[in-house]
Amino acid sequence: MTRTVLDIMNLTVNLPNRTRILRDVSLSLEPGEVRALVGESGAGKSMIGKAVLGILPPKVRISEGEILLDNEHLGAMTPVTRRNTVARMSALIPQDPLTALNPLRKIGPQIVDPLRRIHGWSADKARARALELLDRVHIRAPERVMASYPHELSGGMRQRILIAAAFAPSPRLIVADEPTTALDVTVQKEILKLIRELQRETGTAVLFVTHDMGVVAKISQKVTVLFAGKVMEDAPTEQVFSGAAHPYTRALINATPSSADPSRSFTPVPAQLVADLHREIAQDDHLYMTVTS
């Protein structure tokens, strides 16, 4: 029997005025699997990662649904247990490596401290693992980098350091929140390659948030397509690119540059389709408000 790493069931996330940010979202992740979470800005794709990691913005609440991390109900735990469980089993690779690193602290302690504090490793073991991972993400002179401050390093290097830090404890789950959006295409390719290699070595499952269907095709085995907080399509990646079921998924693919048919790439998502989807969701919302009020 395989244990699912992450099981999100009927997750609804609200603002205080009951505006829904996520609408009845379900998805699951098997060990060693990469699932892409794709959608436009504001679709709620990052919100799912934040709900799992327990870092939702203030006032944003989970109103319905369950999140199971390694078959454990996060909702049933006390806040402290929940925080510890999440910290022990998962890690985040954020979009902006500069804001994720503390500018006043050297790189070394920023990787080593969580390994000691959360995972209870000895100083020597944590340091050895940090050096091993830095070397693994192709950082030359890892000793020197550990003694550097974030501002002394390039954007690509900082992102590689955060990848090393995320994979160091071999977590069950990594949430990668648009980790390559701020990078050059050539650096992006390196970073994607690293995530893929490390993920395969450690067997870590990855929830990969992105807006780019090109990246989806390269990195993931499964895809969840989101629009306005609602799941439009959930399918194996291969199936999505051989013939997506949902028109919105096809529209996203057509908005992405393609070699096969350059004339069709960069086609904006048709306004009519967007209007139709919004209308559907508005009807849903009306019903939701009536039922819950």
Partner 1 sequence: MTATPFFSVRNLHLSFADRAHKPLFGPAPRIEVLKGLDLDIGEGRITGIVGESGSGKSTLGRVLVRLLDPDSGNVMFKGQDIAGLDEEALRPLRRDLQMIFQDPMSSLNPRHKVWRIIAQPMKRYGLGGTREQATEALVRVGLPAEFGDRFPHQLSGGQRQRVGIARAIAVGPSFILADEIVSGLDVSSQAHVLMLLSKLAKEMGLTVAFISHDLSVIRHLCDDVIVLDHGVIVDNGPVEQVFDDPQSDVTRKLLAAIPLPEMDDTWFER
Q: In the complex, which residues of this chain contact partner 1 (CB under 8 A)?
A: 40-42, 154-156, 181-182, 184-189, 192-193, 196, 211-218, 237-238, 241-242, 251-253, 255-260, 262, 265-269
* Contacts for 206 with CB less than 8 Å, ≥ 6 apart: 33, 34, 35, 173, 174, 175, 176, 195, 199
CB of 58 to partner 1, least distance (A): 18
Tell me the helices (H) and strands (E) count for the chain, helix number first: 12, 10
Which residues is 285 bridged to in the sheet? Answer: none
Return the CA Rg of the chain.
20
CB of 220 to partner 1, least distance (A): 10
Which residues is 12 bridged to in the sheet? Answer: 64
The secondary element (H helix, E strand) that includes residue 202 is helix 185-202
CB of 212 to partner 1, least distance (A): 6
Please state, in angstroms and rounded to a whole number, the distance separating the CA atoms of residues 50 and 56: 5
Nearer to partner 1, 156 or 169 (CB): 156
Report residue 133 as tokens.
């991972």
Nearer to partner 1, 28 or 258 (CB): 258
Nearer to partner 1, 3 or 193 (CB): 193
Nearer to partner 1, 124 or 261 (CB): 261
The secondary element (H helix, E strand) that includes residue 234 is strand 230-236
Structural contact between residues 210 and 216, judged by C-beta atoms closer than 8 angstroms:
yes
Structural contact between residues 225 and 36, judged by C-beta atoms closer than 8 angstroms:
no
CB of 44 to partner 1, least distance (A): 13
Nearer to partner 1, 116 or 250 (CB): 250
What 3-state class would DSSP assign to 159? helix
Structural contact between residues 134 and 165, judged by C-beta atoms closer than 8 angstroms:
no
Please state, in angstroms and rounded to a whole number, the distance separating the CA atoms of residues 266 and 152: 37
Place of tokens 């205080």: 16
CB of 124 to partner 1, least distance (A): 34
Nearer to partner 1, 241 or 288 (CB): 241
CB of 258 to partner 1, least distance (A): 6
CB of 173 to partner 1, least distance (A): 23
Nearer to partner 1, 32 or 214 (CB): 214
* Contacts for 163 with CB less than 8 Å, ≥ 6 apart: 93, 137, 179, 191, 194, 195, 198
Nearer to partner 1, 17 or 41 (CB): 41
CB of 190 to partner 1, least distance (A): 9
